[in-house]
Structure formats: C-alpha cells, structure tokens
Amino acid sequence: MPHTYEFPRPALTVDCVVFGFDGSGLQVLLVKRGIEPFLGAWALPGGFVRMEENLESAARRELEEETSLREVFLEQLYSFGEPGRDPRGRVVSVAWYALVRPDQHPPKGDTDASDAAWFPIDGLPGLAFDHERILAMALDRLRGKIRYQPVGFELLPKRFTLTQIQALYEAILGRTIDKRNFRKKLLAFDFLIPLEEFTGGAHRPARLHRFDRRKYDALAKRGFLFEL
Amino acid sequence: MPHTYEFPRPALTVDCVVFGFDGSGLQVLLVKRGIEPFLGAWALPGGFVRMEENLESAARRELEEETSLREVFLEQLYSFGEPGRDPRGRVVSVAWYALVRPDQHPPKGDTDASDAAWFPIDGLPGLAFDHERILAMALDRLRGKIRYQPVGFELLPKRFTLTQIQALYEAILGRTIDKRNFRKKLLAFDFLIPLEEFTGGAHRPARLHRFDRRKYDALAKRGFLFEL
DNA sequence: GCAAAAGTGTTTATGTTACACCCATGT
DNA sequence: ACATGGGTGTAACATAAACACTTTTGC
C-alpha cells in the first residue's frame, strides 16, 4: 500500500463565485441548497471533486450542472480548509470565480431542479458554510484584477458601448470616473475595435466596440501595463 | 453515513516555495527527498495535511519539520490537482510561498536528517513531481506582488540599507533601477524609518532603515498605491 | 422642441525619467 | 592617496486630472 493511503483524507470540493453585470450593478449567481446541511439556504454553486477530473474540470462541471453555464471565464481564487467549515466533517474547498456575459446568463427557471438566481452584490442573502467569506475574497480579487487585466470585457456582451464599460468600472470600483479621460485612455490602448454598428433606443445611438484579444496579448507580451 | 463520505477522496498535501535573498540574487530552499517516489531528487518542502489542522498550519508544520523555518511570511499561491501529477495516485496540493530574511536562514546542516539547501533561482536542479511548475508560478507571483505590496522587506534583515533593497528589486524584477529615483520614491512613501545606525565595512558606512508596518497599514487603508 | 444619452479637446497639475558629481571610510 | 560604495538635486518629459458644451435621436 503506497504511503499516500496511510492518511485519513479531507473531502475535496470546488465552489464558484459567479459574477454578472446587469448594466448598472454587479451581481452574483447563487443556488438554493436542495440537501442538508443548510437545506433551503443560498450557497455558491459547487460540489465534490471526482477522482479522475482535474480541479478546473470539476468547477466547470458543477457550474454546468447547477446553473447551466458553459464556457465562461474561470480562474482559481483560493483554497479554504478550516476544520469545521463544513458540519459534515473535514472538507477542503478549492474556490473559483467566474465572469459571465449577459447574453450567457441562463434564462430564469432554466436550471434543472433546484433554484439558481442572481442577486445584486449589495443585497445578498445569508449564505451557507463559509461562502460569505469566499465571496468577499472573490470580490476583492475582481476589484484588484480589473484595474490591470482586461477581465471587464468578460462581463459585457461581445459588442458593447463605451458607456457600458464605464458603468461596469464604476460599479466594480465603486466610484465615478470622468467620461472623457476614461474614453481617451481606454482607446489609446488600441485594443478596442470601433464597429460600424450602433445601439438603437430612445436617444442618440452609441457606437459599439469589441475587445481585440490578439492585440491585447501582443501588447501584454511587450511588457505592458493596463492600469485604469 | 453523511453524504461526504460516499466519495473516494484525493489525498491532500501542501508544498512551499521558500524564497531567500543573499544580497545579490534570489534563492529557493529545496529539500532532497528521502523516500520514494523521486527518492534523492530535489523537491519543494511539503507533505500531507492532517485531519485536524488547517491548510496554513499544515504548511507551517511541514516547513518547520523539513527546513527548521518558523514564523516566516507565508501566503497561499495556488492549488494543483492534475490527476497524474503524483505517481502514487490522486494527490491535490495546496501550494504556498514563503519569504525568509537572511537572519532567519537555517544554518547549513541544521535541518534534521535529509538535506535542505538554497539554490540560486537561475541555477536550479530538476525537481520532483510538478514542482517546477509550482515554482515558476510562485516566481511570477512574487515578481507581480513586489511591485505593489511591501513584501520585499520580508526578504531583508529587519534593518537594511537602501542599496540592499534596491539590489533586491533589481534581482527580482531583472533590470537595473536608477538610484536617485528609487530612493526618492521609496522615501516619499514615508514608511521607511531612517535609523541612527550605520553599516561598518570597507567603505563609507550606509544608513540603516526599517520598515514601519503600522505606517504602511495606515496608508494602505486610505486607499493607496505602492507601485514601484 | 425637449429630454436624454453620446460624443469630443485643452489646460493644469502631478509624477516619472534622465543624468553626474562629491562624500566618507578602510586600506 | 586611492578605491569603493554612499549619498544627493534639477530640468525635461510624459501622464493624469479637471472641466462644459454640442450632437443625435425618440417622443
């Protein structure tokens, strides 16, 4: 019997903090627990890691099973392993955070069986386990990351207006930003492509743009700082 | 039997990337493996997590057991869980990185039983498991972190000269820095306290400074950017 | 024609970069 | 007295911040 097997093992789970943006505020996707413990409470989507899958696959599988979300931006956040964080016994959780575009959002009620629902970041219900702590850490990470990595685009439609992305930055950073300075700086990076398409609606149409990842990657390799 | 126990479980380990600075180059502390697999190979210090300890405690315990290091700066890095990363079976490792001051370095040969030794970052031996990948990630993290968080001081003696800290930044960032600009900026932050003590040695004595964490924390709370 | 959001430049202040010489000590 | 590393200021340049009005559309 290999050395490995002489030790009792903690159980291993993954949990996902799923962020969305509705045009004015940051939101988080939660699921209502259908089993004990914390039956009926809201929690982060997640579950046990299987023996043959890697950690990211486990996170993506749970995400799809519980929220129908596929092919989202997903990045590892932190691992939580306080004894006592799960009343069932020793459970270590590898936490991830995901960013999803509005056009990827699951239609409400689409999720099979137990409920999943979006909550505004400043109107969250109490959460099961230590999920509030995990969520707080994910939010910190997002706030830090968005300032020097182009992750904001993962929360917007593929084609978006400059006003939309400014609203996103203002919502996440929690302060207003000067419109002219913001646009000047963002466009100077030269990884946003202005399209010949415009929004419709009640007022002056706004030009749509898309993020050019190739251009960004090229710049990033040349040792480049984002810093919005 | 609780739900938790129905699943086969990966084994859980912690591994630590321990950085040091010898005045001119960054170094990593490795241990020579005394058991299979990879017997005789160099590896990151680490080992299995016990059922009753949290992840950080496990990392600190293994660090002390294998390298005699205590009370070092320690921060979680990432969790690695590719099936196949350990030939013994499914093993998930929560990786950490540590920063140790020269005056904390274990005297060579102090470490009980199997060897531990410092290696220069650009002269590393091949490593066991996927430890090269873990180390590469730790190095990336350190390079990124040192630019906007005051972690560099954790690699220097409590009292240090400005030339020492500049050498540290140059070694980690891999480029030379202008002496006058570096000192101007660093001192302007006002969290370095100049002492009335000086180095001895062959040349003009250099003033010693210490890092004032209270002042730094106060600044940091007022929403403050380091950015060297 | 009015309400609502889109779009656009210039000036000022601040921060960053480049750069060269004198000082204090031990040998 | 010389070799070695310690220490210091200023000017040019680049980036960031502040700031207000005109345009386009739907109603």
B104 touches strand D (CB under 7 A): no
Token code pair at residue B86? 């350990």
B179 touches strand D (CB under 7 A): yes
pLDDT score for B18: 98
pLDDT score for A225: 66
Nearest to B88 among A4, A9, A78 (CB): A4
Domain ranges of chain A: 3-145, 159-221
For the segment A63-79, what is each residue's pLDDT rounded down to a tens digit? 999 999 999 999 999 99
For the segment B77-100, what is each residue's pLDDT rounded down to a tens digit? 999 999 999 999 999 999 999 999
For the segment A87-105, what is each residue's pLDDT rounded down to a tens digit? 999 999 999 999 999 988 8
pLDDT score for A201: 87
Using the Cβ of B225 and the Cβ atoms of chain A, whether some distance falls under 8 Å is answered with: no
Whether the per-residue pLDDT at A56 is higher than 80: the answer is yes
Which band of pLDDT confidence, cut at 50, 70 and 90, is reported for residue A39? very high
For the segment B156-176, what is each residue's pLDDT rounded down to a tens digit? 999 999 999 999 999 999 999
Whether the per-residue pLDDT at A4 is higher than 60: the answer is no
Beta bridge partners of B193: B210
Residues in chain A: 228
Question: Which amino acid, residue B187?
Answer: L
Q: Is A54 within 8 Å of B9 when comparing Cβ atoms? A: no
Q: Which nucleotides of C are covered by protein (CB under 7 A)?
A: 3-10, 16-20, 23-27
Nearest to A78 among B7, B51, B76 (CB): B76
Question: Domain B3-145 belongs to what topology?
Answer: Nucleoside Triphosphate Pyrophosphohydrolase (3.90.79)
CATH of A159-221, one of 1.10.3720.10, 3.20.20.105, 1.10.150.20, 1.10.10.10: 1.10.10.10
Q: Which long-range contacts (C-beta less than 8 Å, at least 24 apart) are formed by B191-198?
A: B191/B150, B191/B215, B191/B216, B191/B219, B195/B159, B197/B159
Q: Please report, rounded to whole angstroms, the spatial distance between the CA atom of protein residue B169 and the C1' atom of nucleotide D8.
A: 21
For the segment A116-130, what is each residue's pLDDT rounded down to a tens digit? 999 999 999 999 999
What is the number of other CB atoms lying within 10 angstroms of the CB of residue B70? 11
Contacting residues for B158 by C-beta, under 8 A, at least 6 apart: B101, B103, B210
pLDDT score for A220: 85
Instruction: Give A8's contacts in chain B (Cβ within 8 Å).
Output: 51
Burial of B207 (0-12, 13-18, 19+ CB in 10 A): middle
pLDDT score for A105: 81
Which band of pLDDT confidence, cut at 50, 70 and 90, is reported for residue B228? confident
Residues 65-84 (A) with a CB less than 8 A from some CB of B: 76, 78-83
Tally A–B CB contacts below 8 A. Answer: 87
Whether the per-residue pLDDT at A194 is higher than 60: the answer is yes
Nearest to B55 among A5, A53, A81 (CB): A81
State the Cα–Cα distance between residues B161 and B199, nearest whole angstrom. Answer: 8
Instruction: Give B80's contacts in chain A (Cβ within 8 Å).
Output: 55
Whether the per-residue pLDDT at A195 is higher than 70: the answer is yes
B227 touches strand C (CB under 7 A): yes
Mean pLDDT, range A125-142, rounded to an integer: 98
Which band of pLDDT confidence, cut at 50, 70 and 90, is reported for residue B24? very high
State the Cα–Cα distance between residues B121 and B138, nearest whole angstrom. Answer: 12
Q: Which chain B residue has its CA at the smallest distance from A78's CA?
A: B78
Q: Is A79 within 8 Å of B79 when comparing Cβ atoms? A: yes
3-state secondary structure of B167: helix
Q: Is B7 within 8 Å of A50 when comparing Cβ atoms? A: yes
The percent of residues above 90 in pLDDT, for chain A, comes to 85
Using the Cβ of B175 and the Cβ atoms of chain A, whether some distance falls under 8 Å is answered with: no
Nearest to A51 among B8, B51, B79 (CB): B8
Which band of pLDDT confidence, cut at 50, 70 and 90, is reported for residue A113? low
Whether the per-residue pLDDT at A2 is higher than 50: the answer is no
Mean pLDDT, range A155-163, rounded to an integer: 98
B84 touches strand C (CB under 7 A): no
Cβ–Cβ < 8 Å for B18, B64: no
Q: Please report, rounded to whole angstroms, the spatial distance between the CA atom of protein residue A180 and the C1' atom of nucleotide C9.
A: 9
- In whole numbers, what is the pLDDT of chain A averaged over residues? 93
State the Cα–Cα distance between residues A98 and B158, nearest whole angstrom. Answer: 40
Using the Cβ of A2 and the Cβ atoms of chain B, whether some distance falls under 8 Å is answered with: yes
Question: Which amino acid, residue A214?
Answer: R
Whether the per-residue pLDDT at B177 is higher than 80: the answer is yes
Domain B152-221 is in which class?
A: mainly alpha
Which of B57, B79, B133 to mutate to test binding with chain A, by most A CBs within 10 Å of its CB? B79
What is the number of other CB atoms lying within 10 angstroms of the CB of residue A84? 11
The percent of residues above 90 in pLDDT, for chain B, comes to 84
Whether the per-residue pLDDT at B117 is higher than 60: the answer is yes
Lowest mean pLDDT among A124-133, B2-11, B28-37: B2-11
Mean pLDDT, range B36-47, rounded to an integer: 96
Which band of pLDDT confidence, cut at 50, 70 and 90, is reported for residue B2? very low
pLDDT score for A129: 98
Mean pLDDT, range B123-135, rounded to an integer: 98
User: How does strand A116-120 pair with strand B46-48?
Assistant: unpaired
Which band of pLDDT confidence, cut at 50, 70 and 90, is reported for residue B221? confident
Which band of pLDDT confidence, cut at 50, 70 and 90, is reported for residue B7? confident
Whether the per-residue pLDDT at B62 is higher than 90: the answer is yes
Whether the per-residue pLDDT at A112 is higher than 60: the answer is no
pLDDT score for B1: 43
Q: Please report, rounded to whole angstroms, the spatial distance between the CA atom of protein residue A27 and the C1' atom of nucleotide D21.
A: 35
Q: Which residue is closest to C24 in terms of CA–C1' distance?
A: B204
pLDDT score for B50: 97
pLDDT score for B201: 86
